[in-house]
Amino acid sequence: MYVILVYDIGERRVGKMLKHCRKYLNWIQNSVFEGEITEVKLKELVIGAKKIMNEEFDSLILFKSRDQKWLDKQIVGKELSNIDNFL
């Protein structure tokens, strides 16, 4: 399945969350990830994310699609390849 993941996480937890999500998906913007993932791996991702998050303040949204072909992506501005320079 194809997944888009976006989070809004407290500054203290964001580094850990970034590292966790990158284990499963491709990092495409500051707090946005995408990629192909199995149902089992996605469950693992969410369980791990919940351990990092403070669910009262932090938010994580997943958009799931059976196939990436249903989605068309358009990027405006800075290209993803620049992102890694900030870390």
Question: Which positions touch a copy of itself (CB under 8 A)?
Answer: 4, 6-8, 28-32, 46, 49-50, 53-66, 70-80
CA-wise closest residue to 40 among 83, 1, 75: 1
Query: Closest approach of Cβ 56 to a copy of itself, in Å?
Result: 7
Does 8 count as an annotated binding residue? yes
Q: Which is nearer to a copy of itself, 10 or 19 (CB)?
A: 10
Q: Which residues are annotated as a binding site for Mg(2+)?
A: 8
